[in-house]
Amino acid sequence: MQPPVQPPQPKPLPGVRHILAVSSCKGGVGKSTVASNLAISLARRDRAVGLMDADIHGPSMHLMMGVSDEPESRDGRILPRESHGLRFMSLGLIAGEDTPIIWRGPIVGRMIQQFIIDVHWGELDYLVIDLPPGTGDAQLTLAQSLALSGAIVVTTPQTVALEDAIRGGEMFLKVDVPLVGVVENMSYFQCPDCEDRVGLFGDGGGDRLASHFNIPLLGSLPIAQAIREGGDNGRPIVLDDPQTADAFTGIAEQVEATIDDLADEGPEITIE
């Protein structure tokens, strides 16, 4: 009788100290907004940071980082582009403008593997990975290939988003990836004239999600025109708005503290 096939064991990425996934099963909750602003916030804390856009079918990180030129290659490896103090890679830099990515799951997995192996990330303190919606090939490829330090779950307050986010969090636990915390996006709209806060999508979803997994609510972010404009214009909001920058700095501080605690509990990962 043949022995059972063992799943591939995730490995650290040489030169990268911590790998952090930003995830939610639900689309449209602002994962890319959170990933880009968090990555920049970490970089502004004097950390060497990389940002990988793992949303193969809907890449947008190149737009949010304000770069559209194709990356160069050296010695057979792709050099990530640099913007706002960090290195990043997105299929949007390679695919033609307006070109649909019509790929089945195995090809998506291979493309993500290329982003891991064939991109010269160099030495990084953090590699932040912006994941697509769902719990499919992209998520499993990463979890089985890379020793992820942890995952952040992004949600909006409403119940529909919450149920999907719980599924996403449970997926990471099943593949032994620890959850770092929850970020609640689009938590409220603040009236610019009267400063009243309105919960357009309800309230308390982030707290309920954090309580479900017994992890911290890292922060609650408003619906704001400036956040949308920053993403559209290639200047994430933390670069220009001190109040939002402070909020993301607080999230970054909590993420670093939790990642350090998790690293102390697990095997030591050294930079090769």
Query: pLDDT (tens digit, 9 = 90+) per residue, 225-250?
Result: 899 999 999 999 999 999 999 999 99
Check: CB of residue 11 under 8 Å from CB of residue 145.
yes
Residue 133: give the domain boundaries: 16-265
Query: pLDDT (tens digit, 9 = 90+) per residue, 131-162?
Result: 988 877 788 888 888 999 999 999 999 888 88
Query: pLDDT (tens digit, 9 = 90+) per residue, 189-227?
Result: 887 777 788 888 888 889 999 999 999 999 999 998 899
Q: Is residue 2 a part of any domain in this protein?
A: no
Dist. CA 157–CA 35, nearest whole Å: 18
Q: Is residue 271 a part of any domain in this protein?
A: no
Q: Is residue 86 a part of any domain in this protein?
A: yes
Q: Is residue 5 a part of any domain in this protein?
A: no
Q: Is residue 7 a part of any domain in this protein?
A: no
Number of domains present in the structure of the chain: 1
Q: Is residue 8 a part of any domain in this protein?
A: no
Q: What is the CATH number of the domain that holds 190?
A: 3.40.50.300
Q: Is residue 132 a part of any domain in this protein?
A: yes
Instruction: Say whether pLDDT at 269 is over 50.
Output: no
Query: pLDDT (tens digit, 9 = 90+) per residue, 7-41?
Result: 667 888 999 999 999 998 888 899 999 999 999 99
Q: What pLDDT is stored for residue 97 in this prediction?
A: 65
Dist. CA 157–CA 69, nearest whole Å: 36
